[in-house]
Amino acid sequence: MINVDDLETYVDDSTINNQNFAHQFKREYAYEEIGADATIMVMLNRRDTNAYSDTFVRSYKIDTVASTAEGTMELIPAEYGTGAGYDVKILYINNSEHLAKGSGEYQKCCKTTIDASGKESESCTDEDGEDEDSCAEENKRFDKYNPQLLNKTMQGMTDISEESTKYVWHIDYDDLTDPEKDTVVFYILKISLPEYTEDLQEMTDVQKKSGKYRHFILPEIISSKDAESQFTAAPSVQG
């Protein structure tokens, strides 16, 4: 996982295309924390400019409730300069429930009254949105957005493809034949769950950010020993 907040805090125009910086960044800020209520879909599509090459497509579903997220994966070379490369698409679905509050700006406390003739009227007063105890729940009216209970939220994504980023994942033959390199590491851009309903729009931006931060999410083939020492709990922002 790589938290989008960390990228936007530490990566700027001078480092965004620097592959050495991206490598160092991943060693410090990438972490392994999926959660028991998550589902991950990994889709690999090997593209080749040679029309006679066989199509190679693989997809994997990891349900962390019932899986240890370990297994085998089939790959074939797609070396740089050969016209071949992999599209990599990963979806990270958070299946737990999360309550996004109404607008964070202000809310109205509204009460309906009935006069002697039976006519209904509603009177409202503005209340501080943070003062949740000042108004009964059934009387709350939010200025723009109502609270929303989220489940099965797409909280993370990686989208590396020719269409979206003009940059694909290349795999050297030497990486696949090196007995020490026995682990494939995939990186997922993760965005924090929204505190307020109006922040839901930011959840959809994670796909665009895959193109912006493409150097930071390219998969790697490394040794399992290096993988164990690299990935720990999140060092900074989590959601």
Evaluate the CA torsion angle 73, 223, 38, 158 in order and state its sign: negative
| Residue 69 or 171, more confident | 171
Evaluate the CA torsion angle 162, 168, 173, 178 in order and state its sign: negative
- For the chain, the distance separating the N- and C-terminal CA atoms, rounded to the nearest angstrom, is 12
Which residue, 27, 10, 17, 1, is CA-closest to 222?
27
Task: Tell me what the pLDDT averaged over the chain comes to.
Answer: 83
Whole-prediction pTM? 0.75
Residues of the chain with pLDDT > 90: what percent? 35
| Residue 17 or 132, more confident | 17
Distance CA(77)–CA(130), nearest Å, equals 55
SS3 223: coil
**pLDDT above 50 (res 237):** no
Residue identified by tokens 């309550």 is: 99
**DSSP H helical ranges for the chain:** 4-10, 19-29, 173-177, 200-203, 206-212, 224-230
